[in-house]
Amino acid sequence: MSAKSILEADGKAILNYHLTRAPVIKPTPLPPSKTHNPPPKLASLYFPAGADVKGVLDQAEATYPWLLAPGAKFVAKPDQLIKRRGKSGLLALNKTWPEARAWVEARAGKPQKVETVEGILRHFLVEPFVPHSQDTEYYININSVREGDWILFTHEGGVDVGDVDEKAEKLLIPVDLSEYPSNEEIASTLLKKVPKGVHNVLVDFISRLYAVYVDCQFTYLEINPLVVIPNADQTSAEVHFLDLAAKLDQTAEFECGAKWAIARSAQALGLPVAPSKEGKTHIDAGPPMEFPAPFGRELSPEEAKIAEMDAKTGASLKLTILNPNGRVWTLVAGGGASVVYADAIASAGFADQLANYGEYSGAPTEQQTYDYATTVLNLLSRAPMHPDGKVLFIGGGIANFTNVASTFKGVIRALEQAAPVLKEHNVQIWVRRAGPNYQEGLRNIKAAGQKLGLNMHVYGPDMHVSGIVPLALKGATTDIPEFSA
């Protein structure tokens, strides 16, 4: 998948490292800085399930000795892709370390509801508090569209930035970087409402920021507030990105992986280069980029298992549990078909009963299909019984090259095992699939269904790809006959 959100700590580390290193597209108003930024002070605290919270915090004091500096003030916040943390009371500002520590301790590993989503807080970020005046707060956002990259800028940043789409000054940087705007153009479009005195400093920063955006293949970058405190003669400035949200293009890993890694290496972060715990050798000069799951979407063991299988094979295996107590379960082949099935189930009025979204494709082996199907059927059997029974869709489009009969072998094996439970839970099974050798596949599954005494309906390519959904859920009728050998 391509655009993926990253941790705030990782985003900040990348900016800090590459701001002075990424090649600028055109010369900026200020001379290039002769020194690189010092390592950023980012205490990234992770509390895995069952972790000793105190222990993690004690360890943090050893890893980040600046936390214990006398009189220092800090900002603490969860770092889990949560939007509008300030408004949800998830931002501790201007705290001493003991205060910040207590604040984190009170929340780490605990469930938290943010707007409509509930999740467990596991990842925190503690940074030095930067005192600054309101008039040094800016907002900047870079995002990519087909024609190029938009830079949005307002001189009034902060929590209450409001509707930036309306308020911000905008500048489109075309895809062809030879058409990159001049310093004057940048200043005259984006900095209209900013005092002239800081123009050079800001143009320099924006150009460098954009250079990092391009060089490290970001697809989204928002800094709010961005604090720029110019020095006395305004030839350079102290820049702080207080709050940052970013997405990287995961598919660019082969081009940028090394850059993402080195910025997050122990050395770049100013950490003692301890021999790593697992003694793992990374392929780059730092840890590989991690793309965390959205807040509240912690993977269940089953989802994690499928994700691991997905990563280890050439086939594509996806599973997201939407409602573990749902009545409607899907076992659908193909990325497009799986969405169509979910659509059909939702539009039949069963959105809240839809238990899972998932798909298997890319010619999985019989064993992989079996493992995948068994996982789904296990989850199904754990959901409470329902007076109206449950529905299982074994669906899929017209495969291109997958031998339907051989993937269905894995599904049939899983059905054979689960047959008693399927009957106990009164599960209706609806099958639709086509593609190479589908005749044998459908014949086999139909025979298995009859042998096992399952309530099963089987259709081939005459049936619309998701046509079985209204039949099963809305009692619709069809004149298309069921598949018969």
Partner 1 sequence: MNGVSTPNNKGGLSANDNITRFSAPSRPLSPPAAHTLFHPKTRCLVYGLQPRAVQGMLDFDFICQRKTPSVAGIIYTFGGQFVSKMYWGTKETLLPVYQSTEKAMAQHSDVDTIVNFASSRSVYQSTMELMQYPQIKCIAIIAEGVPERRAREILHVAQKKGVTIIGPATVGGIKPGAFKIGNTGGMMDNIVASKLYRPGSVSYVSKSGGMSNELNNIIANTTNGVLEGIAIGGDRYPGTSFIDHILRYQADPDCKIIVLLGEVGGVEEYRVIEAVKSGQVTKPIVAWAIGTVAAMLKTEVQFGHAGSFANSQLETATAKNAHMRAAGFHVPDTFEDMPRTLAKVYNDLVQAGTIKPAAEPPVPKIPMDYAWAQELGLIRKPAAFISTISDDRGQELLYAGMPISAVFEEKIGIGGVMSLLWFRRRLPDYATKFLEMVLMLTADHGPAVSGAMNTIITTRAGKDLISSLVSGLLTIGSRFGGALDGAAEEFTKAYDKGLSPRDFVDTMRRENKLIPGIGHRIKSRNNPDQRVVLVTNYVRDNFPSHELLDYALAVETVTTSKKDNLILNVDGCIAVCFVDLMRNCGAFSPEEAEDYMKMGVLNGLFVLGRSIGLIAHFLDQKRLRTGLYRHPWDDITYLLPSIQQGNAPGAEGRVEVSV
φ, ψ (nearest 5 deg) of residue 145:
-130, 175
Name the residue nearer to partner 1 (CB basis): 235 or 367.
367
In the bound complex, what is the minimum distance in angstroms from residue 152's beta carbon to partner 1? 14
Nearest to 470 by CA among 322, 389, 350: 350
Name the residue nearer to partner 1 (CB basis): 340 or 415.
340
**Tokens linked to 339:** 């969405």
The span from the CA of 326 to the CA of 53, in Å, is: 34
> What is the residue type of 389?
G
Is residue 440 involved in binding partner 1 (CB under 8 A)?
A: yes
What is the 3-state secondary structure of 23-55? Answer: CCCCCCCCCCCCCCCCCCCCEEEECCCCCCHHH
Name the residue nearer to partner 1 (CB basis): 116 or 281.
116
The span from the CA of 105 to the CA of 124, in Å, is: 10
Is residue 21 involved in binding partner 1 (CB under 8 A)?
A: no
Cβ neighbours of residue 423 under 8 Å, at least 6 residues apart? 453, 454
In the bound complex, what is the minimum distance in angstroms from residue 484's beta carbon to partner 1? 18
Segment interacting with partner 1, rule: CB under 8 A, options 124-132, 194-202, 232-240, 429-437 = 429-437
Name the residue nearer to partner 1 (CB basis): 8 or 359.
359
Binding pattern for the stretch 23-52 against partner 1, x by CB under 8 A and - elsewhere: ------------------------------
Considering only 309, 442, 469, 472, the residue that binds partner 1 (CB under 8 A) is: 469
Considering only 410, 435, 441, 449, the residue that binds partner 1 (CB under 8 A) is: 435
Is the distance from CB of 45 to CB of 104 less than 8 angstroms? yes
Segment interacting with partner 1, rule: CB under 8 A, options 142-150, 261-269, 369-377, 417-425 = 142-150
Cβ neighbours of residue 74 under 8 Å, at least 6 residues apart? 67, 92, 94, 95, 96, 97, 100, 126, 127, 128, 129
Considering only 123, 155, 208, 318, the residue that binds partner 1 (CB under 8 A) is: 318
Is residue 347 involved in binding partner 1 (CB under 8 A)?
A: yes
Torsion angle of the four alpha carbons 26, 32, 33, 37, in this order, in degrees rounded to the nearest 10 = 20
The span from the CA of 485 to the CA of 480, in Å, is: 15
Footprint (CB under 8 A) of partner 1, residues 165-224: 174-176, 214, 217, 219
In the bound complex, what is the minimum distance in angstroms from residue 175's beta carbon to partner 1? 4
Is the distance from CB of 381 to CB of 425 less than 8 angstroms? yes
Say how many CA atoms lie within 13 Å of 176 toward its Cβ: 2
**Tokens linked to 374:** 């068994």
Is residue 146 involved in binding partner 1 (CB under 8 A)?
A: yes
Is residue 479 involved in binding partner 1 (CB under 8 A)?
A: no
Is residue 255 involved in binding partner 1 (CB under 8 A)?
A: yes
Footprint (CB under 8 A) of partner 1, residues 327-346: 334-340, 342-346
Nearest to 28 by CA among 188, 216, 208: 208
The span from the CA of 405 to the CA of 383, in Å, is: 29
Is residue 325 involved in binding partner 1 (CB under 8 A)?
A: no
Is residue 383 involved in binding partner 1 (CB under 8 A)?
A: no
How many residues in total does the chain contain? 485
**Tokens linked to 12:** 């900040």
Name the residue nearer to partner 1 (CB basis): 127 or 249.
249
Name the residue nearer to partner 1 (CB basis): 33 or 325.
325
The span from the CA of 242 to the CA of 222, in Å, is: 11
278: left (phi over 0), alpha (psi -120 to 50) or beta: alpha
> What is the residue type of 165?
D
Considering only 28, 112, 141, 144, the residue that binds partner 1 (CB under 8 A) is: 144
Considering only 63, 403, 428, 455, the residue that binds partner 1 (CB under 8 A) is: 403
Is residue 300 involved in binding partner 1 (CB under 8 A)?
A: no
In the bound complex, what is the minimum distance in angstroms from residue 1's beta carbon to partner 1? 5
Residues that bind partner 1 (CB under 8 A): 1-3, 116-117, 144, 146, 148, 174-176, 214, 217, 219, 249, 251-252, 254-255, 294, 296-297, 316, 318, 320, 322, 334-340, 342-347, 351, 354, 357, 359, 361, 365, 367, 397-401, 403, 434-437, 440, 461-462, 464-467, 469-470
